[in-house]
Amino acid sequence: MMMVSPDIEDDDIDGDGFSNLNDDFPLDDREWLDTDGDGVGNNTDTDDDNDGISDVDEKFWGFNPLDGIDGHDADADNDGVSNKDEIDAGSSPLDADDTKTPTKYAPIMIDDILIIIPYE
């Protein structure tokens, strides 16, 4: 990051091309946008819209990485399993015939031994 002195005459203090008013990080020339407002700029944030699906996965599946509405609770292929759960489980969120739900694990104790068993 460049060392710059705050200057009210300069409308782009960090010189990243985004004016201070339009820059979520006016003193950081590597960041200018924080879509989900979690304090981590989009260039660093791996899930810009905070919907639980990574930017990489959203781009891969054609979802909008800057719009949380198509991720966490959405079900693009209408098969009853959310886009996020399908991606987590390894099935296609765009193919209703390809449906998996994430495996859930339950810890149980038998004779003082902790056993983790999958269940649906």
Q: Is the dihedral of CA 54, 56, 59, 65 positive or negative?
A: positive
3-state secondary structure of 58: helix
Q: Of the ranges 4-12, 71-79, 100-108, 109-117, which one interacts with Ca ion (CB under 5 A)?
A: 71-79
Report if residue 53 touches Ca ion, rule: CB under 5 A.
yes
Report if residue 34 touches Ca ion, rule: CB under 5 A.
yes
Q: How many helices (H) and strands (E) does the chain have?
A: 2, 2
Which of 10, 12, 67, 75 contacts Ca ion by CB under 5 A?
75
Q: How many residues touch Ca ion (CB under 5 A)? A: 20
* Least separation in angstroms between CB 81 and Ca ion: 4
DSSP H or E run through 89: helix 83-89
Backbone angles phi, psi at 55, to 5 degrees: -55, -40
Interacting residues with Ca ion (CB under 5 A): 14, 16, 23, 25, 28, 32, 34, 36, 38, 40, 45, 47, 49, 51, 53, 75, 77, 79, 81, 86
